[in-house]
Chain A
Amino acid sequence: MAAMSGRTCKWVEAHVDDYLAGGLTPSERERVELHIATCFDCSDALDTWSFLRGAVPMADMPPMSELTERRILSGTDTKSLRIPSRRSPKGIYIGISAVAASIAAVAVLWFASAGGEDTVRLETFASVDEIEPQRPFARQPIEARSVEVDSMGRKAINVFPGTTLRFDPDAEVEVVGISLREARFRVSKGYAVAKIGKVTPGFRFIVETPEREVIARGTVFSVNVDEAGQSQVRVAEGAVEVHSRDGFAPAQLVVSGEQLEPWAKRPDMALPEALSVDLAASVGEKETAADSAEVPVLAVVRERPKGPNPKSEDTVVPVDTTGPDLMLKLAQQFRRSGEHRSAADVYAELLDSHPDSSEAQIVLVAFGQLRLNVLHDPHGALALFDRYLEAHPSGSLRSAALSGRVRTLSRLGQYAEVIASANTFLTEFPGGPASLEIRRRRGEAFAANGSCENAVADFRVIIEKWPDSAEASRARQGIVRCDTP
């Protein structure tokens, strides 16, 4: 029977698409339906595949930023369309070195200092061949001859005529790579100003800092990286797209006249009260301290290439240095600044990447509360509370998870379950901070289930013990509703 079942499973698996498209004969169709009525695995697989086929075309993609869209569509404007070559590195750079050489052959850009006092002849920037013939995106320290220095010690790199990166004497700048498609620099410390002039369509001018990546075209902007690696971006003309190097914060468009502060300097906003109370009461010092401390900037460290042949930057995956503790702090920071979606994503990633951490326990409850109170997703919230209660039956956040469960079930109108969960809560935590509210909710659930006597009993307890509380007001309303026929 098992062998037969295995063969049938294979047959059904091979005919799933035809079945869903209605392309089977009646007898074949019957064979599929008989089988999935008895085989849980095949039935589940068919359900899931069917769900995906319906849902995926409706699913949202991350929105494309205006700048990226313009960049992509700008490629349609050329009469002779140039497709970025993906042939071997040697092929690419032999191909463009001739062109690069001709551009680099333009000898002079006179550079005037800000004070207009001194002018210095700017050397031509090295062509791609001179930097790194095979790997333009490998790290390359700045060579002295390719950097212009003025009388005040300020330096400048001329990428193309009209396109420069200038920086202070004590700034730390690396050329990551320059080609006809892209110029990429890394500013680890100090102040730098970029000016992008007329460039070929699709060309990208990118400045990386420890925490950000700034992508620009036709703009004048500056970055300033302090000792702690935090960076500020200021745009004088045009617009830039600023990406978080660690990928947790959303990409932002910064336009002329605007400036972007380091992540740590976001306005401080209070957490929702319920979360503060529950977490502070349940988790104690650690969480409270985390809420009030300044959030450290998350730094992404790109893996330094080792050995004589470093890997191309394009194939290096950033090393993840964000542990669960920093992720939790980041999520809390997002919540304080009202960016709940960002917080939700960070929570979800933390649960995914560090499911066994102590932070994940906190997140199960915090995320549940976020989903319930802010994102209006009671089903999702319930799943998270239940996940916590199942995984940590004696955990320190049991009270918060149980009370969250009661609130969620109330929202869903599942009154019998509200009563059951509230009973558990009030047995285990009779004097807890949420006991008033839970008792009131139980009373409301009793009333909804037609058990007014029990409802009124609960309401009276609240009114007698805490007559001036908000819950007592709600309890009085509950009694009135029960008394009203």
Chain B
Amino acid sequence: MMRKSATTERKKAIEAVVSLIPACLRGEKQSREMLARWCLPKVRRTVMLTYGTGADADDLVQTVVVKILSRLESYRGDAGFYTWVDRITVNVIKDHFRSRRFKSRWELTDDLDTERAAASQQPDAALERYRLMKCLAKHLESIKIDKRLPVVLALSHGYTAPEIANILDIRVETAKKRLQRGRKELLALLNTDPRFAEVRNGWQL
């Protein structure tokens, strides 16, 4: 029952965002900002796990958001809006890696919002959730981008292999193989990391 209501909620949220598109195309500032705000966490998560953090990553996020808004006209509704956003995100990231001007970087900043964590019911849980992202991104960095992207899409957004193939514009079999290999590499790396074991043992939702 819970899963059904979560799916319904998600559907409603997407419908609400899609309904902003006409206003965005008319150039209404508020609608554009609302749509950008909605996309921001999703885009950030993908960029963070695939590319890293820091000023360059923020630039990348901005590029994606701007591209999403500039290409709204081309959204036909044939793919889900989530998928369409992720496709743009992934293409921008791939362009960056292809240009070889930008290598992913995980900057060791302590960006944990200590006030937010302290104010939460379980500050240690908040700390562990942040540590998990950091641990994961650090290991993902050493996996080649063609395998990294499918893993990030699967973990971060729950996409299946056919959906990943659609987003990356590759064959389903290719997507499956890359996901499998990327996953194997990631799990091997996490297995040797005592910090991941600590995070996992201390994991609280």
Contacts and interface: CB of A to CB of B under 8 A. Distances in A.
Nearest to A92: B101
A467 interface: no
Interface in A319-353: 339-342, 344-346, 348-349, 351-352
A190 interface: no
A383 B201 contact: yes
Contacts of A315: 101-103
A60 B133 contact: yes
Interface string B114-141: 1011000001101111111100100000
Interface stretch (B11-19, B79-87, B104-112): B104-112
Main secondary structure on chain B at its contact with chain A?
helix
Contacts of B195: 348, 351-352
Interface in A280-333: 312, 314-315, 317
Given A61-B133, A250-B109, A349-B108, A48 B190 contact: yes
Interface residues of A, number: 71
A425 to B, nearest CB: 24
B109 A247 contact: yes
29 contacts: A14-B176, A48-B190, A51-B203, A56-B132, A57-B155, A59-B129, A62-B48, A68-B58, A69-B40, A71-B62, A73-B36, A73-B37, A73-B65, A75-B65, A87-B99, A250-B111, A251-B111, A314-B102, A317-B103, A339-B114, A340-B114, A341-B110, A341-B117, A352-B195, A371-B124, A380-B124, A380-B202, A383-B198, A383-B202
Interface of A: 13-14, 16-17, 21, 44-45, 48-49, 51-53, 55-64, 68-69, 71-73, 75-77, 79, 81-84, 86-89, 202, 215, 243-244, 247-251, 312, 314-315, 317, 339-342, 344-346, 348-349, 351-352, 371, 375-377, 379-380, 383, 387
B174 to A, nearest CB: 13
A81 B70 contact: yes
Interface of B: 27, 29, 32-33, 36-37, 40-41, 44-45, 48, 53, 55-56, 58-59, 61-63, 65-67, 69-70, 95-96, 99, 101-103, 105, 107-114, 116-117, 123-124, 126-133, 136, 154-158, 160-161, 176, 179-180, 183-184, 187, 190-191, 194-195, 197-198, 200-203, 205
Contact of A83 (B63, B133, B154): B63
B42 to A, nearest CB: 11
Contact of A81 (B69, B99, B201): B69
Contacts of A62: 48, 53, 109, 111-112, 130, 133
A61 B27 CA distance: 31
A49 B194 CA distance: 17
A352 to B, nearest CB: 6
Contacts of A44: 191
A314 B99 CA distance: 12
Given A16-B180, A81-B66, 12 more contacts: A13-B180, A51-B203, A53-B154, A56-B155, A61-B130, A69-B40, A73-B33, A75-B65, A83-B66, A315-B101, A348-B195, A383-B201
Contact of B156 (A57, A86, A340, A348): A57
Nearest to A81: B70
B202 A72 contact: no
Contact of A55 (B33, B63, B101, B203): B203
B127 A375 contact: yes
Given A63-B116, A76-B36, A58 B183 contact: no
A58 B45 CA distance: 11
Given A49-B187, A86-B96, A63 B113 contact: yes
A317 B109 CA distance: 14
Nearest to B102: A314
Nearest to B133: A59
Given A13-B180, A250-B110, A56 B103 contact: no
Contacts of B110: 248-250, 341-342, 345-346
Nearest to B29: A77
A72 B101 contact: no
B114 to A, nearest CB: 4
Given A72-B65, A76-B33, A87-B99, A345 B112 contact: yes
Contacts of A56: 132-133, 136, 155-156
B127 A379 contact: no
Contacts of A345: 108, 110, 112
